């Protein structure tokens, strides 16, 4: 479950901040040990980083061949947040192993830097999990009025997977991801998708929903943007994924691609099955 650091309108995932801090520590160890051994830091730190990033991206892309085959131009677009971290770590370990086989003088400093990175990364993730507020990962009790005048509270939907999308019509990434969400809704009939508009008047929401073909019963009005503040997610779009037990399993702050949406849906439903 993703947690964010809110800096005004900017939302930064804590997992990303932990990753960057761990990389800085690992790189510092690598450079210090290289200098102590009379070696220039050399290109290996950056080469290893690049190899790990490429492997992490490729590992994710290969996991969703149909989604990326339908939109191949999105493969290099890393803004969708699609990474496979263990593939990246595997590439980094392979890089260090090659240096050991070649008996490179940089092998010990680089291996020590990688060990520091892994230790700091895993420790940070463990602390993040340990400090999660109890009850903060449950379906919210907030209740909203849908465009069809029905009243919907996400907490009442416990028993089925639920996707809550916080959006606004003025937000370009929100508009771009709407077709992806609609296609997923059609393919995953067991999942309830809720589009909770943040801060716009009903007539604006109704016009936009009609143009996009959004189901009126699943588009909720939140004129004071209360739900986003309550959940602690102010950035738009933000999409929250709850499993059938009402637990928050994943959060995506930013635009969803078909692949990243499929990835998060699998976390709450299991592998996707074609619609009957």
Q: Which domains does the chain have, with CATH numbers?
A: 4-130 (no CATH), 144-269 (3.40.30.10)
Bridge partners, residue 166, by sequence: 196, 238
Alpha carbon distance 162, 264 (integer Å): 11
- Mean per-residue pLDDT for 172-184? 95
Residue 151 has pLDDT above 70, yes or no: yes
pLDDT in tens, 184-226: 999 999 999 999 999 999 999 999 999 999 999 999 999 999 9
Residue with tokens 């999308």: 165
| Ordered DSSP codes for 149-214 | S-EE-GGGGTTS-EEEEEE-TT-HHHHHHHHHHHHHHHH-TTSEEEEEEES--HHHHHHHHHHHT-
Least confident of 19-23, 32-36, 137-141, 249-253: 137-141
User: For the chain, first and last CA: distance in Å?
Assistant: 30
Least confident of 60-64, 77-81, 107-111, 117-121: 77-81
Bridge partners, residue 163, by sequence: 193, 241
More confident: 266 or 233: 266
Residue 115 has pLDDT above 70, yes or no: yes
Count Cβ atoms within 10 A of the Cβ of residue 269 and give its class: 0-12 exposed, 13-18 middle, 19 or more buried. Answer: middle
* Position 272 confidence tier, pLDDT thresholds 50, 70, 90: very low
Alpha carbon distance 260, 58 (integer Å): 13
* Position 80 confidence tier, pLDDT thresholds 50, 70, 90: confident
pLDDT in tens, 29-66: 999 999 999 998 778 989 999 999 999 999 999 999 99
Element containing residue 242 per DSSP (H, E): strand 238-242
- So what's the pLDDT on residue 208? 96
Q: What are the tokens at 76?
A: 């290099």
- So what's the pLDDT on residue 3? 72
Q: Kindly state the percentage of the chain with pLDDT values over 90.
A: 76
Residue 255 has pLDDT above 70, yes or no: yes
- So what's the pLDDT on residue 128? 87
- Is 61 within 8 Å of 68 (Cβ atoms)? yes
- So what's the pLDDT on residue 175? 95
For the chain, give the mean pLDDT.
90
Alpha carbon distance 263, 272 (integer Å): 9
Alpha carbon distance 272, 253 (integer Å): 22
What is the CA 236 to chain-centroid distance, rounded? Answer: 13
Identify the CA nearest to 104 among candidates 45, 25, 22.
45
């Amino acid at each position: 479950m993703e947690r964010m650091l809110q800096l005004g309108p900017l939302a930064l995932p804590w997992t990303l901040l932990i990753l960057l801090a761990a990389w800085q520590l690992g790189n510092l160890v690598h450079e210090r040990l290289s200098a102590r051994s009379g070696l220039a830091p050399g290109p290996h730190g950056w080469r290893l980083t690049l190899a790990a990033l490429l492997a992490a991206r490729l590992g994710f892309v290969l996991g969703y061949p149909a989604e990326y085959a339908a939109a191949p131009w999105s493969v290099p677009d890393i803004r969708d947040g699609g990474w496979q971290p263990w593939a990246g770590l595997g590439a980094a370990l392979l890089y260090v192993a090659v240096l050991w086989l070649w008996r490179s003088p940089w092998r010990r400093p680089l291996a020590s830097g990688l060990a520091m990175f892994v230790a700091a990364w895993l420790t940070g993730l463990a602390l993040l999990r340990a400090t999660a507020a109890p009850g903060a990962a449950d379906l919210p009790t907030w209740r909203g009025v849908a465009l069809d005048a029905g009243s919907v509270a996400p907490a009442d939907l416990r028993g089925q997977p639920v996707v809550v999308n916080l959006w606004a019509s003025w937000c370009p990434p929100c508009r771009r991801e709407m077709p992806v969400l609609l296609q997923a809704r059609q393919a995953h009939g067991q999942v309830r998708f809720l589009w909770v508009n943040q801060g716009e008047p009903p007539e604006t929401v109704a016009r936009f929903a009609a143009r996009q073909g959004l189901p009126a019963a699943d588009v909720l009005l939140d004129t004071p943007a209360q739900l986003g503040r309550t959940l602690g997610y102010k950035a738009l779009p933000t999409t929250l994924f709850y499993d059938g037990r009402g637990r928050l399993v994943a959060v995506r702050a930013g635009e969803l691609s078909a692949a990243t949406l499929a990835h998060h849906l699998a976390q709450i439903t299991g592998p996707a099955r074609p619609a009957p």
